[in-house]
A and B are shown apart, each in its own frame.
Chain A
Amino acid sequence: MFKTMPVSAMIGLFGVCFYVFLAVFAPLIAPYGETEVVGGVWLTPTAQFWLGTDNLGRDLLSRLIYGARTTLFIAAVSTVVAFIIGILLGFLAAVMRGWVDQVLSRLNDLLMSIPTLIFALVVLSVLPSELYILILVMAVLEATRVYRVSRAVAADIAVMDYVEAAKLRGEGWGWIISREILPNAASPLLAEFGLRFAFAVLFLSALSFLGLGIQPPAADWGGMVKDNKDGIVFGIGAALFPGAAIATLAISVNLVVDWLLNRTSSLKGGRGDG
C-alpha cells in the first residue's frame, strides 16, 4: 500500500503526522506556556522567540503548537460526531427507503439550501458561547454533507445480492447496516472523512477569526489570526504564521484524500484521470 504511494501523498501524510505530533505532545515541545506573557508586544523573530511574540507579548511558536492541539481536537471531534449522525441517518434512509428516506432527504435538502457559514452565524447569535455548542453546531452542519454521501453509497450497496441474502436470512436493520453495508462503504467514507476534517479545520478557523469560535485566552489558529491581524498594516506578519499553519494542514489532508480517492476509483475500474 505504501510502496505505490505517490510523492504528493507522502508529503501530505507527513504534514498531517507532523501536526498531529505537535498537537499530542504540545506541552513537551512548546518552549513557553500557552498564555504566558514572555516579552514585548510583536517582537520580531529572534533565537529566543523563533517566530516572535504576539499582540500581548506571548510566544507565537508556543501558541501555534498549543493551537494545533485545540484546532485539531475540536475539528476532529466535530467531524466524528458529524459522521455518526450522517452515516446513521444516511444508511437508515438508504435501507428503509419510502417515507423515511423522503422525510430525511427533504429535511437535509432544506438544511443544505442555507449556506453553512450563514446558518452557523444565525444559530450562534442565540446560543450561549460554550465549547460543546460550537462542536454540535459544526457537527450538525457537516452531517448534512455526510448524510448525502453515505446515503448515495449505501443505496448502491443495499441492492447487492448479498444484502438481499441477508434480508432473506431474516437479519434485522441493525445487522444489515453494521455488518453488510458499513464494511463495504468504508473506503469512500474514509476519503470523505478526510475532506470533511479539512473543511472542519477551515470552518472552525473562520468562526474563530470572526470571534465566534473558540474564546480567548485559549490558543487556536483562527483566533490567533484575529488577535494579530492589526499588526499587518504596520508590516508585522505575526498573523500570517497561524494562517500558514491552517493552509498547510488543509493542503496536506487534501493531498492524502486525492490519493485515497484515486485508489478507490481505480479499484472499481474507473479512469484515473479527468
Chain B
Amino acid sequence: MGGPLLTMIVQRIALGVLLLFAVSLLIFAGTEILPGDVAQAILGQTATPEAIANIREQLGLDRPAPMRYLEWLGGAVQGDFGVSYSNRQEIATQIAGRLGNTLFLAAAAAAIAVPLAIILGILSVRYRNTFFDRIISIVTLTTISLPEFFSGYILMFVFAVSLQWFPSSATVYDSMTLLERLWAIALPVMTLVLVVVGHMMRMTRAAILNVLSSPYVETAELKGLSQSRIIWRHALPNAVAPIINVVALNLAYLVVGVVVIEVIFVYPGMGQYMVDHVSKRDVPVVQACGLIFASVYIILNTIADVASVLANPRLRHPR
C-alpha cells in the first residue's frame, strides 16, 4: 500500500460522497421544482385555496426551499427523515426494520447468485462452443429478457400453488428463526437469482475469454498446459478485476431489483413501502426511500471502483 494508491482510493471515496450530496439535491429538487403540488395532491382537485394554504403551512411548505433542503439533509444524515404525510408517524422507525428485511433478501440472493454465476461462467469457457455452452447461453439470454414479475409469478404458480413446496407470500416477522425466514423467502430469492445470474455469468465468460486471447495464454497453451490449468491459474487472476466490477454492479442492481419482487411476494421491505407511498403521494417517505436506495447503489458502485483498482495494478496509473 503505497502513497499514490491510498490517494487514489481516497479520491474515489470523496467522489462517491460528492455524488451522494448531488443525488440528495437532485431527489429533493425533483420533488420540489416539478409542477405537481403536494398540498393539491393530498387534498385532490376540488380543494379550496384556503385549505391548500392551510395544509402547506402545516407541513412547513410555505418556507423557502433551500432552508427546507438543509433541514431535510441535516436530519437524514442523523437518521431522521421527518414524519410521513399519510399516517403522521416517524419515517425512520418505519424504515428501520424494512431496510433490514430488504438487505437480508438481497444478501441471500447474492450468496447464491455470485458463486453460481462465476462457476457457470468458468465452466462455459472451459467447454466453450460445445453443446453445454450453447445451452447455458440460451438459458441465460432468456432469463435476462424475462421481466421479474413474469418469472416471479411462474415460480409462484409452479412451486407455491401446484407443488405447494414454498409459501406464496413471503411473510416474515420478528419471532421467526433464521431457517423459517429463509424458507419464507425461498421464492423471492429464486426470482432475484434468475434476474441477475444471467448477466453476471455472461460478463464473467466474456472477461475470461478476453484474457484468453492474449499472447501469454498462447504461450501457456504452447507449453502444453491443460485447459483447466490455463483457465484457473493463468486467465482467472487477470480476469478478477472485471468480474469484481460486474459482481458489485449486479449487487447494486439486486438492491434495486427487489422493489418489484417485494411487491410480487408481498414482502415487508423498503421497496413495497416506497411503492405504496408513491401512489399515496407521501413525498417525505418517497424522498427518504429514494435517498436510501440511491445511497446503497452509489456505495456499492464506489466499492466496485475501489475493488477493481486494488485488483488490477494497471488501473493505479491512469494515463
Contacts and interface: CB of A to CB of B under 8 A. Distances in A.
Scoring A113, A124, A205, A229 by chain B CB atoms within 10 A of each residue's CB, the highest score goes to A113
B245 interface: no
Contacts of B283: 125-126
A172 B286 CA distance: 46
B147 A205 contact: yes
Contacts of B253: 115
Contacts of B294: 113-115, 118
B256 interface: yes
A246 interface: yes
Interface in B76-112: none
Nearest to B255: A115
Interface in B25-67: 26-27, 30-31, 34-36, 38, 41
A123 interface: yes
Interface of A: 110-111, 113-115, 117-119, 121-128, 198, 202, 205-206, 209-212, 222, 225, 229, 232-235, 237, 239-240, 243-244, 246-247, 250-251, 254, 271, 273-274
Nearest to B206: A274
Contact of A128 (B36, B154, B252): B36
Given A121-B278, A206-B260, A235-B162, A127 B34 contact: yes
Nearest to B287: A122
Scoring B129, B154, B209 by chain A CB atoms within 10 A of each residue's CB, the highest score goes to B154
Contact of A233 (B160, B274, B275): B160
B312 interface: no
Contacts of A274: 206, 209-210, 213
A113 B34 contact: no
15 contacts: A113-B23, A114-B23, A121-B278, A121-B289, A122-B31, A125-B31, A126-B31, A128-B36, A206-B260, A222-B149, A232-B153, A233-B168, A250-B146, A251-B145, A271-B213
Scoring B34, B213, B259 by chain A CB atoms within 10 A of each residue's CB, the highest score goes to B34
B121 to A, nearest CB: 13
B154 A121 contact: no
Contacts of B290: 114, 118-119, 121-122
Contacts of B154: 240, 243
Q: How large is the interface on B (under 10, 10 to 19, 20 to 34, 35 or more residues)?
A: 35 or more
Nearest to B25: A110
Contacts of B279: 211-212
Given A115-B294, A128-B35, A225-B150, 15 more contacts: A113-B22, A114-B27, A114-B290, A115-B293, A118-B297, A122-B286, A126-B31, A126-B281, A202-B147, A212-B278, A229-B149, A233-B160, A240-B153, A250-B145, A250-B146
Interface string B141-170: 110111111100110110011100000100
Scoring A121, A212, A222, A250 by chain B CB atoms within 10 A of each residue's CB, the highest score goes to A121
A240 B253 CA distance: 24
A165 B84 CA distance: 61
A124 B34 CA distance: 10
Nearest to A127: B36
Given A122-B290, A232-B168, A235-B161, A206 B148 contact: yes
Nearest to A221: B147
B285 to A, nearest CB: 9
Nearest to B208: A274
B307 interface: no
Nearest to A122: B290
B225 interface: no
B157 A198 contact: no
A119 B162 CA distance: 37
B16 to A, nearest CB: 9
A209 B301 contact: no
B190 interface: no
A126 B26 contact: no
Contacts of B297: 113-115, 118
A246 B147 contact: yes
Scoring B19, B210, B253 by chain A CB atoms within 10 A of each residue's CB, the highest score goes to B19
Contacts of B31: 122-123, 125-126
B230 interface: no
A123 B209 contact: no
Contacts of A240: 150, 153-154, 157
Contact of B147 (A110, A111, A114, A206): A206
Given A198-B145, A254-B145, A118 B161 contact: no
B277 interface: yes
Contacts of A113: 19, 22-23, 294, 297-298, 301
A199 to B, nearest CB: 10
Contacts of A229: 149, 153, 264
B281 A206 contact: no
B36 A210 contact: no
A10 to B, nearest CB: 15
B5 interface: no
Interface in B251-300: 252-253, 256, 259-260, 263-264, 274-275, 277-279, 281-283, 286-287, 289-290, 293-294, 297-298
